[in-house]
């Protein structure tokens, strides 16, 4: 797979396959048709975009759930980077309650903010908000944003990292032994989601909530994990992604072995803009982010479609390095993304009903 000077012409077989997919979309396959009323921005990983139904959509609420060190904040960082690529004049509100965000590291991963305080023009479009500590304060702040958006055509991305770190006024005013936290916070959060859901749709914004998993004590059947804050997000979020670590990725150099990343599985447990319950896997490499290229090539390997790109399994690593080259790999990356997306929706179309019921 060498350097190409122009986009390769598609074969007659590829054209027929695309026409077949388009024809199947006309049979009422709503989830496979382009959502003209929604604008999407990429998650930073094409296979993850596919299970999301096209990426993260404006006018909707999403929820990323996972255990420690499963890439929750990383996906938020990459969401910011891709939001900025789509809308350089848009705004990003990053609510950081955990006091553990490494701005320098995030900038290396593409976070659109400058670490140079003297460079006012290069600060980017991210506004860090660290003084919001309760559900009530968060609601007031987000409600104000929705009101401002009535006169602002540029979109807004709001990220709450994390929902678990939020308190509520009742908890702050109570004593430790009172035990009111588990009762009042879910009710307040449910009220927040209920009152914001409709406003988000008209405010041209996306709100992303990050949640930690919690063990369900004494559960023998069904889901063993939950998240804090009750079931409000299960109703009001359009996309709910659960992340879990599959394995550690290790690299050997000079006979010394180091963990250099993790393999992550993403389950889309709820999706109102695409088919639900889809699963994908992708590697997260430390100091780099989601290895989108390897994730795509591994998926093509899984469905035995590497020949679509004219490569073999043995060439995956070599081809991946070529595609990642910013000078020579741009066209190859576009071809890879296009191939993965086309084959994904081609497969999805096979699971869709061929005719409308009514």
pLDDT tens per residue, range 41-58: 999 999 999 999 999 999
Percentage of residues in the chain with pLDDT exceeding 70? Answer: 80
Phi, psi angles (nearest 5°) of residue 324: -75, -15
pLDDT tens per residue, range 53-93: 999 999 999 999 999 889 999 999 999 999 999 999 999 99
Name which residue leads in pLDDT, 221 or 309.
Answer: 309
| Class of the CATH domain delimited by 36-249+262-284 | alpha beta
Helix axes 12-25, 330-350, angle to 10 degrees: 50
Bond prior to 70 in cis (omega within 30° of 0): no
> Which residue stretches of 264-329 are H helix?
292-302, 316-324
CATH 3.40.50.300 positions along the chain are 36-249+262-284
pLDDT of residue 220: 60
Distance in angstroms (rounded) separating the CA atoms of residues 15 and 295: 25
Please report the sign of the dihedral spanned by the C-alpha atoms of residue 218, residue 190, residue 40, residue 114.
Answer: negative
Percentage of residues in the chain with pLDDT exceeding 90? Answer: 52
Distance in angstroms (rounded) separating the CA atoms of residues 124 and 177: 44
> Which residue stretches of 117-258 are H helix?
135-148, 169-173, 181-203, 232-236
Q: Where is mean pLDDT largest: 12-26, 68-82, 193-207?
A: 68-82
The pLDDT of residue 35 is above 80: no
Name which residue leads in pLDDT, 14 or 306.
Answer: 306
Strands 156-161 and 126-129: unpaired
Tokens 């382009």 locate to 34
Which residue in 337, 240, 320 sits closest to 283, CA to CA? 320
For the entire predicted model, the pTM comes to: 0.86
Contact (Cβ atoms closer than 8 angstroms) between residue 159 and residue 208: yes
* Listed range (143-152, 165-174, 336-345) with the worst mean pLDDT: 165-174
Which residue in 210, 283, 240, 212 sits closest to 47, CA to CA? 283
Looking at the DSSP bridge assignments, the partners of residue 113 are none
Name which residue leads in pLDDT, 249 or 151.
Answer: 249
């Amino acid at each position: 797979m060498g350097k190409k000077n122009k986009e390769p012409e598609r074969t007659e077989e590829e054209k027929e396959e695309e026409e077949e997919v388009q024809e199947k979309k006309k049979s009422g396959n709503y989830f496979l048709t382009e959502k003209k009323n929604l604008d999407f921005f990429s998650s930073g990983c094409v296979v993850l975009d596919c299970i999301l139904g096209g990426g993260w959509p404006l006018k909707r609420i999403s929820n990323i759930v996972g255990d420690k060190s499963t890439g929750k904040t990383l996906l938020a960082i990459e969401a910011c980077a891709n939001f900025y690529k789509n809308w350089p004049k848009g705004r990003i509100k990053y609510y950081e309650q955990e006091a553990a965000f490494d701005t320098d590291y995030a900038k290396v991963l593409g976070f659109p903010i400058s670490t140079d305080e003297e460079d006012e023009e290069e600060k980017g479009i991210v506004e860090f908000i660290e003084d919001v500590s309760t559900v009530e304060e968060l609601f007031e702040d987000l409600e104000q944003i929705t009101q401002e958006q009535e006169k602002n055509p540029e979109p807004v991305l709001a990220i709450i990292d994390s929902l678990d770190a939020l308190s509520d006024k009742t908890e702050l005013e109570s004593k430790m032994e009172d035990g009111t936290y588990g009762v009042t916070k879910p009710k307040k959060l449910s009220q927040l989601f209920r009152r914001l859901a409709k406003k988000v749709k008209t405010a041209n914004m996306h709100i992303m909530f990050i949640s930690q998993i919690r063990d369900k004590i004494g559960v023998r059947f069904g889901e063993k994990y939950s998240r804090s804050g009750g079931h409000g997000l299960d109703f009001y979020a359009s996309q709910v992604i659960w992340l879990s670590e599959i394995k550690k990725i290790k690299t050997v150099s000079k006979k010394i072995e180091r963990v250099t990343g993790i393999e992550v599985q993403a389950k889309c447990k709820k999706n109102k803009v695409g088919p639900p319950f889809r699963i994908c896997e992708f590697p997260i490499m430390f100091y780099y982010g989601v290895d989108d290229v390897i994730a795509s090539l591994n998926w093509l390997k899984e469905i035995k479609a590497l020949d679509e790109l004219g490569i073999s399994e043995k060439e995956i690593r070599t081809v991946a390095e070529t595609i990642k080259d910013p000078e020579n790999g741009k066209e190859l990356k576009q071809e890879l993304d296009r191939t993965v997306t086309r084959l994904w929706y081609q497969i999805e179309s096979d699971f869709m009903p061929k005719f409308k019921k009514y």
